[in-house]
Amino acid sequence: MSTISRQLAAEFLATLALVFIGAGSVVVDAMTGGEVGLVGVALAHGVVLSVMVTITMPISGGHVNPAVTFGLWLARKIDARRAGLYVVAQLAGAVAGAFLLRALFPVGAGDATSWGLPRISPYISFPQAVVIEATLTLFLVSAVFGTAVSPQAPKVGGFGIGLVLAFDILAAGPLTGAAMNPARAFGPAVAASDWHAHAAYWAGPLLGAAVAGLLWAWMLGLREEPRAPKA
């Protein structure tokens, strides 16, 4: 198997796991009448991302998120062709994870939550949701640069990145679902055929990733020729 095939397989599998476990925790929370709770949902997302990033980092760089790939492309840490293929693999993995969830988990709770689809609270507007998602993603992509891309990064694998995902969900999960990842919203949207306010989960994360990518590229002096991803 070629290098790019292994990288795409890693991104597919890791994103499948993120959606299956993350969205699955939302479905189970609904099924049990809230026994999982916000803390449980945050931990499910944070732990699965930590592990998936750690195990795929030596293969694909452990992006597991089109927004992360976009930020790294802006910082010239990945070339455009590879970035595009990564995004396709991530979206395919997200859809596969959502349909696997739909095949195995209780239909009633799944339908009630649109299979773990992130939702915008009625207490905030669409523009506010976009800015919230952008801000949360800025923190997430900053963790990628600070713990995985930087030459001085501490050797913590993906656990620093997973912790940011967890605390972002604790802070803003009830407001936007705290997706920070277009694929995390895309998979359940396809499985549930529910596209309400879906644009927020592309616009916000991509905006936040763009700011983080350009900012950290400048701070770390990373604007060099594209090469194989290291984040």
User: Distance between CA atoms of 220 and 9, rounded to whole angstroms?
Assistant: 30
Structure tokens at 164: 């940011």
pTM: 0.93
Q: Is residue 230 within 8 Å of residue 148, measured between CB atoms?
A: yes
**Given this model, what pLDDT does residue 225 score?**
44
Give every residue of the chain whose pLDDT is below 70, as ranges: 1, 222-231
The pLDDT tens digits for 129-188 are 999 999 999 999 999 999 888 777 777 888 999 999 999 999 999 999 999 999 999 999
**Given this model, what pLDDT does residue 231 score?**
45
Question: Residue 66, Cβ neighbours under 10 Å: how many?
Answer: 28
Domains located in the chain, CATH noted: 3-220 (1.20.1080.10)
Place of tokens 């927004």: 67
Q: Is residue 98 within 8 Å of residue 118, measured between CB atoms?
A: no
Residue-by-residue DSSP string for 42-57: HHHHHHHHHHHHHHHH
Q: Is residue 64 within 8 Å of residue 19, measured between CB atoms?
A: no
User: Distance between CA atoms of 69 and 133, rounded to whole angstroms?
Assistant: 16
**Given this model, what pLDDT does residue 222 score?**
62
**Given this model, what pLDDT does residue 99 score?**
98
The candidate with the shortest Cα–Cα distance to 231, out of 87, 19, 91, 78, is: 78
